[in-house]
Amino acid sequence: MSSSLPSLLLYPQDPDYRPADTGTLIASLQDAGLIGESVDDLPGQRYAAGPSFLQHISFLGCSPAVEFEPEVPGSEQFCHAGILYSGHLQFRGGPQQVQVHCRQCRHRETDWAALIDAWRADPQNHRYICPECGAESHATDLNWRKTGAFAHLFIELYNIYPHEAVPTDGILKRLREATGVDWKYIYVR
């Protein structure tokens, strides 16, 4: 379940990747210390930040204030993780800052919401045709510039603002070892 909180999302580079089961991935993330115990009073598969969270997620700036506990039970206003899995390909991005570009000519598509609506209407057959160069692309092949992504699986790190933090190479390597695919990240707000 997604939230309205600003988030850093980790996702497999291959949009067709589907894990055999999320339990193995969750165990690997807990073993690495990125995530901790389940947070039962929040919807979906939510987890507390693990004991090594700050070794895997590098906060930028000189003195970040990171809250790891909610002020009141049931509040989402703290740094925690969620595992979002769907049997159908999902788009995550926006709502305001999405930047999408043609990979051929770098034309910026300003009406990205209409592009996503058209893709959702027919994900298998939808093709984007660049108005600048005429290149035909699937929505998943466009350059979303860390502001949007397509995947069946997302690891959402809640209450992290865009460009406030980045995943370390170590956790991206750990995810690759656990899943056999490379991982990337985006920000949503």
- Looking at the 3D structure of the chain, how many domains does it have? 2
Q: Same structural domain for residues 41 and 59?
A: yes
Q: Same structural domain for residues 118 and 27?
A: no
Q: Same structural domain for residues 119 and 153?
A: no
Asked if residue 2 is part of any domain, the answer here is no
Q: Same structural domain for residues 108 and 179?
A: no
Q: Same structural domain for residues 123 and 36?
A: no
Q: Same structural domain for residues 125 and 150?
A: no
Q: What is the pLDDT along the chain (189 residues), one digit of tens a residue?
A: 456 789 999 999 999 999 988 999 999 999 999 999 999 888 889 999 999 999 999 999 877 788 999 988 888 999 999 999 999 999 998 766 788 999 999 999 999 989 999 999 999 889 999 999 999 999 999 999 888 999 999 999 999 988 899 999 999 999 999 999 999 999 998
Q: Same structural domain for residues 39 and 112?
A: no
Alpha-carbon distances of 32 from 8, 10, 106, 175, rounded to whole Å: 18, 15, 38, 10
Q: Same structural domain for residues 20 and 81?
A: yes
Structural domain span for residue 168 = 7-92+145-188
Q: Same structural domain for residues 151 and 164?
A: yes
Q: Same structural domain for residues 52 and 84?
A: yes
* Neighbour count for residue 150 (Cβ, 10 Å): 23
- Cα radius of gyration (the chain): 17
Residue type, 65: A
